[in-house]
Amino acid sequence: MKKKTKKFIILIVVSVLIFLSVFLPLPYYIELPGSAENISQYIKVEKQSKKHQKGELMLVYIRELHATPLTYAMSYLNPFAQRDSAKNLYQGNTEDDYQKIQQYYMQDAINEAEYVAFKAANKKISRKYLGLYVMSVMPNSSFKGKLKVGDTVESVNGKHFDDSQGYTSYIKSLPKNSKITIGVQSGKKHLKLTGTTQKLVGTNQYGIGITLADRTEVKPSEKIKADMDGIEGPSAGLMMSLQIYDDLTNHNLLKGRKIAGTGTINAQGQVGDIGGADKKVVAASNAKATVFFVPNNPIPKEVKQAYPDLKTNYQEAKEAAKKIHTKMKIVPVRTFNDAVKYLENTN
């Protein structure tokens, strides 16, 4: 083999290896600190009459990258990077079903944020329970191949309940392997599907055989403009509720501050835990936020015994803040009212 030919082959091989290291997708994702942005560009009351005030409320999000060999290796240089397999991330769902679930989480977060904010501002809003949102269908379910992720179970044997507990309690009361008819909304269609109750994996209980979430609909008395395109999941719930509440009232909550935060919200105003609290602290600090709200819910004793190293979101956030030497105030909250009271009583 001639010397020039040998060099050419080596060059080709090296080029291919470089190309693969940069572009070859691996079955992994990398979570990194993302950004913090003014939430009013995503959600606000359309006809707000209050004057502009200095400061802003900020949602915080995490960057999620599809890993390549190069980015996967480089992620070990970032103390806040976290690697996760695609299998674990999707939890057995297809990518399309995963996206449907993320869209559900976001719409549900918007609904709950509106409800909490309007109630707190003494404004009219109605909330209707639609049924059980199908997150997945278990392999042994008699409705496998009939129900799909994104469908809504509206009734069971002609009965509609006002919460998921009502449905599960009724189904538990039925004899084993009972024939059952469910009313389902699938897209724009309303269907009747029949099957039998099946033993739920890992339990002695019988059910439809789905993992589920509550699906609700709210109708506020004032129009809300919401465009959360590109933002996934429910973790902006708290900050959305604060933004709507701030729009609806004449309270000066901001007082010139850049206020960031994270946490889910439910209809009772409780702030739920989220993932990646440490990464969100970094993103908020980089955006010059001076306040960062974070959930501070206690870890159940039995969970702590099983996972002794598990930390609360607040503990994770405090450790991250210390690591990056930020002066940003880390504020623990458990409810929407905790956050409002803090903003009202501090400067």
Please give the pLDDT value at position 51: 56
Q: How far apart are CA 98 and CA 102, in angstroms?
A: 6
Summarised one tens digit per residue, pLDDT across range 94-117 is 888 888 899 899 999 999 999 999
**Tokens 């099957």, located at residue:** 195
Report, as an integer, the average pLDDT of 78-82: 95
Q: Using only the alpha carbons of the chain, give its radius of gyration.
A: 24
Contact by Cβ (8 Å): 100, 215: no
Confidence label for 257 from pLDDT (cuts 50, 70 and 90)? very high
Say if residue 267's pLDDT is above 90.
Answer: yes
DSSP state of 147: B
**Tokens 């994996």, located at residue:** 201
The predicted model scores a pTM of 0.88
Cα angle at 38 between 32 and 43, to 5 degrees? 110
Catalytic residue check, 40? no
Contact by Cβ (8 Å): 132, 212: yes
Distance of CA 24 to the CA centre of its chain: 28
- Dihedrals phi, psi of 109, to nearest 5 degrees: -65, -40
Alpha helices in the chain (DSSP H): 3-23, 69-74, 86-90, 95-120, 164-173, 237-248, 277-286, 301-306, 313-324, 336-345
In sequence order, what are the beta bridge partners of 85?
28
**Annotated active-site residue in 141, 280, 285, 318:** 280
Say if residue 178's pLDDT is above 80.
Answer: yes
Supply 181's token pair: 């008819």
Catalytic residue check, 49? no
In sequence order, what are the beta bridge partners of 57?
259
Say if residue 49's pLDDT is above 80.
Answer: no
**Annotated active-site residue in 235, 241, 258, 279:** 235
Q: How far apart are CA 82 and CA 206, in angstroms?
A: 38
Stretch (H or E) spanning 295: strand 291-295
Better pLDDT: 254 or 9: 254
Please give the pLDDT value at position 17: 81
Please give the pLDDT value at position 2: 59
What mean pLDDT value characterizes the chain? 92
Report, as an integer, the average pLDDT of 50-61: 83
Number of other CB atoms surrounding residue 243 within 10 Å = 26
Residue 170 Cα distances to 135, 192, 206, 278, angstroms: 20, 18, 11, 41
